[in-house]
Amino acid sequence: MTGKFIPFEHTALSLEEQRTRALDFLAFCRRRRSIREFALTPVPQDLLASLVLTAASAPSGANRQPWHFVVVTDAALKKTIREAAEAEEKENYENRMPDEWLQDLAPLGTDWHKEFLETAPALIAVFAKNFDLDERGQHKNYYVKESVGIAVGFLLLAIHNAGLVALTHTPSPMDFLARLLNRPPNERAFVLIPVGYPKPGSVVPAISKKSLPEVSTWL
């Protein structure tokens, strides 16, 4: 075994406490919803930093941590991002998306207008890095999509845990984000997450999640 290792600190729980924690966390996660209407209340920078650090604590292939988070709070830049995203989304809704996709989106009430990209107090753009660039050249990263996906999951739950709301937005294509945010060529936009507080009176679609037998197989 090579490399430096340290003892793992583990807190033992009774089976009763394990079950209680698991059910409490399940209920907590089920209260998380995607929000498209944001209050104008700003989110403090130190709180946003804690969210990013939580996301960056996620596991990754070979511990390469193949992600970069760009936090945008500048009003003019948010407006520019909204305009670029809406241009792609308008093309998607009017020409690119097949009828089946549009029919699946219809109950959610979405369209190509993306006001939340401008009204949300913060946008967190998550970039995936297939390789790192340093003075020695390129260093390959591994399981990039899987690693960044896990980090985004951490980020969404950190946002929810902090009493904030968010939305996962994935305009396609997203090449404009790298250009507008001046990212290097080894980074590719993965997801754009508006973050903030819900606007008073916000509503969400009446949806349900699939049951345990629908999402799992026990052997």
Q: DSSP letters along 136-177, please?
A: TEEEE-BSHHHHHHHHHHHHHHHHHHTT-EE--B--SS-HHH
pLDDT of residue 1: 63
CA gap 56, 153 in Å, rounded: 11
pLDDT (tens digit per residue) in 173-204: 899 999 999 999 999 999 999 999 999 999 99
Helix axes 144-161, 45-55, angle to 10 degrees: 140
Q: How many CB atoms lie within 10 A of CB 43?
A: 20
Q: What is the mean pLDDT of the chain?
A: 95
3-state secondary structure of 213: helix
pLDDT (tens digit per residue) in 63-81: 999 999 999 999 999 999 9
Query: What is the topology classification, in CATH, of domain 35-199?
Result: NADH Oxidase (3.40.109)
